[in-house]
Structure 1
Amino acid sequence: MRYSVLGPTQVHTADGRPVALGGARLRALLTALALRADRAVPVATLVAEVWPDDPPADEIAALQALVGRLRRVLGREAVASGPGGYRLVAAVDDVDARRFERLAGEGVRALDTGDQAQAARLLDEALGLWRGPAVADLPDRTAEAARWEARRLDARRARFRAALALGEAASVLPELAALCASHPLDEPLQALRIRALRATGRAAEALASYESFRRALADSLGTDPSAELRALHAELLAQEPAAPAPVSVKAPVPPPAVRPGNLRARLTSFVGRDQDIARLQEDLRGSRLVTLLGPGGAGKTRLSQEAAERAADAGAAWPDGVWLAELAPVTDPDAVPETVLGAVGARETVLRGAGAEGLRTTDEPLGRLVEHCASRRLLVILDNCEHVVGAAAELVDVLLARCPGVT
């Protein structure tokens, strides 16, 4: 069995078939056991996590009955019992959260030893396991979810470090900017954004970003940036303009056009699924809204990006690029428009339009997003949106209605 708790709790057989789970209590019990896979969990701990606010009168009997229901779903041998409590019989890699920990740890170690390509591969695989908010089915999930979100943020920081080392600053900058906006006092993230801006030749923006962060630290915490970040600031101030390139007697070869968008460069080849790719490309040619469904881990993210990239290479009508909006870290549906706005590189844009009362400024994120996209032809991929599907659907409805060049 494969157990998934980085998002709504799910179970799949070894060959990928989903296993139907019961109600909220059963999913909470499975989540609590899966987080401690192959370790005995005391009865008191399980009762506290399944019934945090209203424990049953006979806790032991109620838990025994719930364990019995879980065994009927998973098989009796899947949940062992003993003096120490109940234990989910599963290997570490059978639980997505534990697999994430292993892959992320290996990725960070690879990064520290200078193997950036291996680090990127491992970290991408780790981060790809997330399907939504962690431990979503625990009734009182705040503390546990915060721990897992902190580990995820560590992995994302490491992935950005690998991207910068691999020369991918331009492709990750929109995602990095959006993450910095949601963590305005996270100095490692802000430093990564400043480095990415410098690497893409945007030194003035890098200096402005440093100054904005310095003021935020002073206003919120009464402190200054670290010595490391101040040193980076000094490097930016001392940076000299690049010397002009020597004149060549030969006609220069024009550089390849840089396609707008924020899709990351692929570190591995994409083998197989040609029929799926062809079907998706056909759908994209004929429809402005295409939805890809499937269980967690089926490869929807990679398939969607591969199909979009190939369609763009084949001359599809998106001259303004292909943009990926990653919604997995979004926990508040109201934050969906702001996240997509940052993903398409429009967060800092000042937008104006003529209304009934003349010139006005649009400050509301969805309005800013519409004005940014209204005159553009682009493809937007909304990835991992099932946990905020209502807000995502409303956003899509508005974009399709008011932005005729958006797919």
Structure 2
Amino acid sequence: MTFDFALLGDLEVRVDGVLVDIGHVKQRAVLVALLADQGRPVPLDRLADRVWGDQTPLRAKDTLYVYLSKLRQVLDIQREPGGYRLRADSVDLHRFRALAEQARGQTGERALELFDEALGLWRGPALAGLDSPWLAAFREELHVERVEAELDRNDLAIELGRTVLPELLKAAEERPVDERLAGQLILALHRAGNSAEALRHYEALRQRLAEELGVDPGAPLRALHARILAAEPTRTPRQLPAPQQWFTGRETELADVRGEGVTVIAGAGGVGKTALAVQWAHQHLDDYPDGQLYVDLRGFDPSGEPLTTDAALRGFLDALGEPGGPVSADRYRSLLADKRVLILLDNARDTGQVTGLLPGNPSCAVLVTSRNRMPGLLAAGAHLLPLDVLGASQAREFLETRLGRARVPVEPGDLSELVWWCGGLPLALSIVAARAAMDRDLPLSALADELAECRLDALDAGEAEANLRTVFSWSRDALSAEAAELFALLGLIPSPDASLAAIDALSSRPRVRMVLRELENAHLVQQHVPGRYRMHDLVRLYAADLAGKNTEALRRFVDHLVRRAGAGALTLEPHRPLPELEPCERFPDVPAAMRWFDEEHESLLAVQRVAAEQGWHESTWLLARTVNHYHRRRGRTADELTTWHLGLSAAEQLGDKPKQAAAHLSVGLVYAQLSRDALARNHLTRSLELHDEDDFAGRAGAHRAMAWAMERAGDLAGALEHALHTLNGYRKTDLELREAEALNEVGWRYACLGRYAEAADYCEQAMALSRKLGHAEGEAATLDSLAHIAFHDGRPAAAIEHYHESLEVYRQLDNSYEEATVLHHLGDVHAALDQREQARELWDQALTLYLAQGRADDAASLVALLDG
């Protein structure tokens, strides 16, 4: 096994390349204390000092033994006379130090590559979230090492002519009196042709040093200042806006911008397109020695009047030193014919607005930002760079930078809340930062509470450009009438995404796919997987505001999912009628139905909640009924309980006794599975009471559930009694399939009581009937019972064969719940035969499924076996 550790950011541990959870904060601190001396044994006393410092508890060593024992279940930690030694195949901190040392021994491009590789290992502040006096000192030591490497790298990059202005501006904001850093920034500004800004920065630093420290800049800075004063200023066009000092992340997107030709940076309003383009442009100033041109085309300006091509050309000609004369694209292209210029066309509305501003010179680069994907430019060979929201860590860093490092540590939990509610949208994050800056006495918790209550209202800082509704409205106003209507309807969808078929039902208009394409081009919806569409949470809220209460459209959406869920339920259980939804076109096979349920599960849960809120009781009950068997196959116990509680309430509102009985039965089964025996018994007894005496099938189903619940509670004799009632009840009906299942369950209860001859007789009858009926699920369950009987009857080979046959059928049925149970049982047989390796492999597979299904008790029993 390989063990890889990362300290330069959040603590991460990978075993054989897989990220593993190392436990709570103190346990993670123990791991860091071992890693600091990696390769050498660490005594317990030193571990305790590093983890607790002066606050060491009385039973620290006992506590450390517990932590170390848990860590040793995952990692290779050896106990030696000198303490505990941790084996690590790689540690990012050690690699960072080695690379930095190598870089300092090299020159030129190779040294720069090594520094970049070393600094690229940092993912954020080292050891984030861990704290003790020793850890704080260790973190500060690492921070100093990082800063030293960055400064050495800056010197080298400037010497090689690289552009480092964005990084230097951000660093100078954080360390305003670092003279070495200030010198690097001043020199970089000067070499980028911005000598005036370089001199202003020097003067601001000089005043700050005098006021705060009572000193003058050092000799190196004063000498640099004198050289800049004597230099001749540049005359090339430098129209770029200043880069954002709080620009965060986007490394992948920055690397994807093309240095030649046309790159279209497209994304929703407020996603940071301009910031990305300006950042990239400043990083590549040296690649365009003949200057940079910039224009805001005002494509989505609230005035509705985008900048004309002639007006944009006029500005470019002036900047290129050609004021006056005719304004024409030919003249503009002629001026660029022998130059290498970067052209940033910001906020373009469509291809027609941009075409006349493209240079004829392939050595020039053009960046176009737009809320549309500009299909005309793409057809002509432009490169598309779609821009999405920031990830969670990048959004947090963005907000930390904007709020200021001093404020954030005071309210870290509230900061996480703000990041969550903003959904990674840079504009939303900026509005929150602006509101916090305008009222420094306003706690971040108050902002978080306001966002939770009324998100769009909270995201308004008082001006159009800092009001999320207003910014979104500029995109909506540019849509066709059909697209604007569909956009509003999409706000009614209660789930994170929806299929094309569901949206078609919602709209009930033709050409839905074409209209969705227009919304995709405008970055108001995203087809994140083929045939499924989603909106950003904040965009959906804005659309919902526009939609208002359109009950008719919402009902169409709900009815569509109810019908499809019914088709899925009838495919999974063709023997269980659903008269309310007949006739119904079923899925081609069970795997297809299970795939549909997997894709639509979140939508089904959300739609049932909406149906309950609207008082659509029949739909609420049907949704509980139609997802019931899917939940059991996937082991989604908590979801099953939620849906059936809603289903039970709906059945009571309908006054429908059979529906109430079915709901009580299903709720009772879930409670039994959760070992809440009293609640299970109450619901199952009520289910039995609701069935009339001549309802043999209904009463048999209730007895069946009671048998299962009693078995779970340990009452095997009571379980057998109810199982026999179940069999007798089904034999009074024409439900042979249920009779086959009941035969197996009677046999299983006899087996649980150790009466194996009677158990085998009933199970063999069940197997014969299931095979006659083609009832695959009944066959798989009976094979599991026969395997149990064979094993306890002294026939382990037959037991193993039956278990493998059962596994094969359950996997064909995509029934992962029962698959986990059979894997567990099969592992038990191999363990009894002292075949530990095979047993552990099977138990590991079962444990993975148990954990995914939330089966905590079953998982705990397996963990005990695996640790034994």
Q: Given the two structures, how large is their TM-score scaled by the length of structure 2?
A: 0.31
Letter of the 1:315 partner, please give it.
V
Segments of 5+ residues of structure 1 without an aligned counterpart are 246-254, 264-299, 326-373
The answer to whether the aligner puts 1:216 opposite 2:208 as a matched pair is yes
Any idea what the Cα deviations from partners look like across 1:166-215, whole Å, max 9, x if unmatched?
3223xx21221121011011011100000001101111111111111111
Instruction: Determine if contact 2:389/2:426 at 8 Å carries over to the other structure.
Output: no
Taking the TM superposition and a 5 Å limit, the aligned residue runs for 1:6-155 are 6-14=8-16, 16-52=17-53, 54-74=55-75, 78-91=76-89, 94-110=90-106, 114-115=107-108, 117-140=109-132, 141-155=135-149
From 213, 222, 226, give the equivalent of 1:234: 226
- What letter matches 2:254 in structure 1? Q
Task: Give a deviation string over 1:19-60, Cα, whole Å, max 9, x none.
Answer: 222111211111111122112222222112223354232222
Cα distance in 1 for partners of 2:186, 2:93 equals 31
Instruction: Show the counterpart of 2:264.
Output: 315
* Deviates further, 1-10 or 156-165: 156-165
Aligned CA distance change for structure 1 residues 395 and 190 (closer, same or farther; 3 Å): farther
Whether 1:179 and 2:171 are equivalent positions in the alignment is: yes
Mapped partners of 1:324, 1:48: distance in 2: 45
Shift, 1:65, TM fit: 2.1
Instruction: From the superposition, tell whether residues 302 and 142 of structure 1 become closer, same or farther in structure 2 (CA, over 3 Å).
Output: same
Distance apart, 1:128 and its partner CA: 1.6
- Aligned-pair CA distance for 1:104: 1.8
The within-5 A match list for 1:153-172 is: 153-169=147-163, 172=164
- Structure 1: how far apart are the matches of 2:239 and 2:157? 18
| Rounded Cα–Cα distance in structure 2 between residues aligned with 1:35 and 1:68 | 19
Q: Rate the CA distance shift 1:180–1:382 in 2: closer, same or farther, 3 A.
A: farther
Is residue 107–residue 122 contact of structure 1 (8 Å, CA) maintained in 2? yes
Paired residues of 1:127 and 1:152 also in contact (CA < 8 A): yes
SS in 1 for 2:84: strand
Output aligned runs, 1:368-387, within 5 Å. Answer: 377=369, 382=390, 384-385=393-394
- Provide the C-alpha distance between the structure 2 equivalents of 1:382 and 1:397, rounded to a whole number of angstroms: 6
- 2:137 and 2:257 map into 1 onto residues whose CA distance is 38
Query: Residue 10 of structure 2 aligns to which amino acid in structure 1?
Result: P
Aligned to 1:399: 427
State the 1:238 CA deviation: 1.6
> 2 CA distance for matches of 1:126 and 1:35?
18
Residue aligning to 2:767: none
- Alpha carbons of structure 1 residues 89 and 187: separation in structure 2 relative to 1, 3 Å: same
Distance in 2, matches of 1:261 and 1:180, equals: 15
Distance 1:59 1:311, change over 3 A: farther
TM superposition shift of 1:106: 1.8
Name the TM-score, length of structure 1 as normaliser: 0.64
Aligned positions of 1:339-354 closer than 5 A: none
Q: 1:5 to 1:237 in 2, by over 3 A?
A: same
SS of corresponding position for 2:78 = strand
- Alpha-carbon distance in structure 1 between the residues aligned to 2:42 and 2:178: 35
Query: Does the 8 Å CA contact 2:195/2:228 hold for their aligned counterparts?
Result: yes
Once residues 145 and 122 of structure 1 are traced to their aligned partners in structure 2, the CA distance between those partners, rounded to angstroms, is 23
Asked whether the equivalents of residues 103 and 110 of structure 2 are also in contact (C-alpha less than 8 Å), the reply is: yes
Counterpart position of 2:189: 197
What displacement does 1:260 show?
Answer: 7.8
Alignment of 1:252-331 (within 5 A): 303-309=252-258, 313-317=262-266, 321-322=276-277
Match of 1:252 in 2: none
Letter of the aligned partner of 1:130 in structure 2?
Answer: W
Flag the 1:320–1:148 CA change in 2: closer, same or farther, 3 A.
Answer: closer
Q: Distance in 2 between matches of 1:7 and 1:320?
A: 25
Contact (CA 8 Å) 1:47, 1:55: kept in 2 or not? yes
Q: Deviation of residue 312 (structure 1)?
A: 9.0
Aligned residues: 300
Q: Which SS does the other structure have where 2:41 is aligned?
A: coil
Question: Which letter does structure 1 place at the counterpart of 2:222?
Answer: R
- How far apart are 1:108 and its partner, in Å? 2.8
The structure-2 alpha-carbon separation of the partners of 1:216 and 1:260, relative to structure 1 and needing over 3 Å to count, comes to closer
Contact 2:257 2:263 in 1 (8 A): no
**Which aligned pairs between 1:241-256 and structure 2 lie closer than 5 A?**
241=233
Root-mean-square deviation (CA, aligned residues, Å) is 3.7
Q: Bigger relative contact order, structure 1 or 2, given CA contacts below 8 A and separation 6+?
A: 1
Aligned CA distance change for structure 1 residues 65 and 159 (closer, same or farther; 3 Å)? same
CA contact (8 A) 1:135 1:145 kept: yes
**How far did residue 82 of structure 1 move?**
2.2
SS of alignment partner, residue 73 of structure 1: coil
Q: Secondary structure at the match of 1:322?
A: helix
Deviations along 1:57-92, one digit per CA (max 9) or x if unpaired, are 222222222111110121xxx21222322221225x
Distance across 1 between alignment mates of 2:54 and 2:260:
52
The answer to whether the Cα contact below 8 Å between 2:395 and 2:424 also exists between their aligned partners in 1 is no
The residue aligned with 1:343 is: none
Match of 1:306, SS state, is helix
Q: Residue 287 of structure 1 aligns with which residue? A: none
